[in-house]
Every structure is written in structure tokens, then in C-alpha cells.
Amino acid sequence: MKWLRVPPVDLPDLEPMVSLPDPPHPFTERLHALVTAAGSVADLRRYFGMDRPRRAAAFTGARFEALGGGGDHPKVADTVTAEDLIAVQTLSVTVPAAAALELLEGHAGTQLSALLRAIPRGMDMADATEADLDPDSPAHKAWRLLRGQPGIGWVTAGKLLARKRPRLLPVYDRVVRCAVGRPRSFWQAMHRALRVDDYALQRELLILRQAAGLPGTVSVLRVCDVVVWMRHHTDHQNVGCTWK
């Protein structure tokens, strides 16, 4: 099935947190179709290197969550570490040196740590409340703080937070945006999509994770991100997309 493309609304660098009413769009239906399409299990196994010798990952992003024991490991869950900065590089973004030093040693790092302490660590997005993700939430404030650092755009800010709270906050980049559309607030749209029809999408993602043989340390949100990214990244690079 081919999706009709709708001209993009000009909202530069506001993803994923603008909280305005969503225009009608098939976000949930499109996401569900991508997740349940034939080939999703094979794509997951390929991305995470499940069929390679010694399970050597085919993509560096396979190490995003697991590197150094994970960004949400209790000892480091509320602070940005050098391993977090390397982890986001596995997803093809880089935190500039000045911003990295500020997050590791400066006032911004102290502020971010205070916000991270207020963001639930063991909560899945599907189990979160709207208040956990709305514009007044600590997660939203942490995203704005990161966006305020020199050279950190909306994609990098989101990936850093996904590293620190992989079960609650999703990776979101231009490839995913192009594949699923451009809701006014990706976090809130994703939250709703996981919960509709008695958590049908959440269940599908759990089934995919098990079928691909992935460990429980790979979050449901990461399963979703990888499936969508694998389905669309080649076309995104080669064809040219409305939502770039």
C-alpha cells in the first residue's frame, strides 16, 4: 500500500515536543502497518546481528542501548556520561565538544541531572500518563535544556534522552519522521498509538522482540524505531522525501 503524502507544516526544529492539536493524519495506522509488515523480524535480526558470526552487529546502532551497561543503569541513570556521548554517535549524530563538556562538567549537566532524577527510569511509554510527557513534564524540560546547548538539534536531544530513558522516550529522527508522518508532538502521538485498541501496538512490538530473539534490554520503543528505520532508510537517502 502506498501512502499519500501531505505537504508538511512548517514547524522548524520543534519536534518532538510542540503540544498543539494534531491535524487528521493516519499516524497510528501507518505505524501499525510498518510494524506488522512482512520482514520486520528479519530486519530486526539483521540490524542487531543475530545471524552473524558471534552476533557481530551489522549496524553500530545495535549498541546504542547496551553500551557501557546502558544509559539507564542505576549508577549513571541521572547523569550524562562519556559513554552516552559515544552511544549517540552509533546513531549517526555527534554532540559538539563545547556542548559535551558542558553536559559532562558544567552547569547544564547539573541542571540535566536534576531533571533526570524526576523522570521515571523503569516506566514504559505505554504505561506513562500524559503528564509524564506533556510540555510541563521534566522530560520536556530536559529536552528544551538540551536543545539550548550549542550545536544540539532536536534529533540529537531526543537521542540523548532516549539513551537515558530508553523505555519511556523514543528515538526520533528524519527517517522515522518521513516514514510515519509529522505529528505536532511525536511523543504524545506515539503514546496514544501504543495504547489504542487495548495496547495492540505494544503487544505487537513485544511479539516482534521475542520472535527476533532479542533480549529484554532492547526496549519496545527501540524495536519500533529499528523496524521503521530499516523499512525506510534506503528510500529516504535515495529517493528524496517530503518530510526531510
Q: What is the pTM of this model?
A: 0.86
Residue 237 has pLDDT above 70, yes or no: no
What digits encode the pLDDT tens for the residues 87-132? 999 999 999 999 999 999 999 999 999 999 999 999 999 999 999 9
* Average confidence (pLDDT) over 33-45: 94
Residue 242 has pLDDT above 60, yes or no: no
CB 48 within 8 A of CB 211: no
Amino acid letter, 115:
L
Q: How far is CA 170 from CA 117, 129, 133, 222, 232, in A?
A: 18, 15, 11, 7, 17
Residue 238 has pLDDT above 80, yes or no: no
DSSP 230: H
Residue 159 has pLDDT above 90, yes or no: yes
Which of 59, 67, 48, 69 minimizes the C-alpha distance to 91?
Answer: 59
With vertex at residue 50, the alpha carbon angle to CA 47 and CA 54, rounded to the nearest 5 degrees, is: 120
Average pLDDT, the chain: 88
- Which pLDDT band holds residue 38 (cuts at 50, 70, 90)? very high
Residue 53 has pLDDT above 90, yes or no: no
Which range among 26-30, 107-111, 225-229 shows the weakest confidence by mean pLDDT? 26-30
pLDDT-above-70 percentage for the chain: 83
With vertex at residue 160, the alpha carbon angle to CA 102 and CA 76, rounded to the nearest 5 degrees, is: 75
Residue 14 has pLDDT above 50, yes or no: no
More confident residue, 125 or 182: 125
pLDDT on residue 240: 62
Q: CB neighbours (10 Å) of residue 71?
A: 26
Which range among 65-69, 161-165, 237-241 shows the weakest confidence by mean pLDDT? 237-241
Which of 26, 6, 12 minimizes the C-alpha distance to 155?
Answer: 12
pLDDT on residue 130: 94
Residue 37 has pLDDT above 50, yes or no: yes
* Average confidence (pLDDT) over 133-138: 96
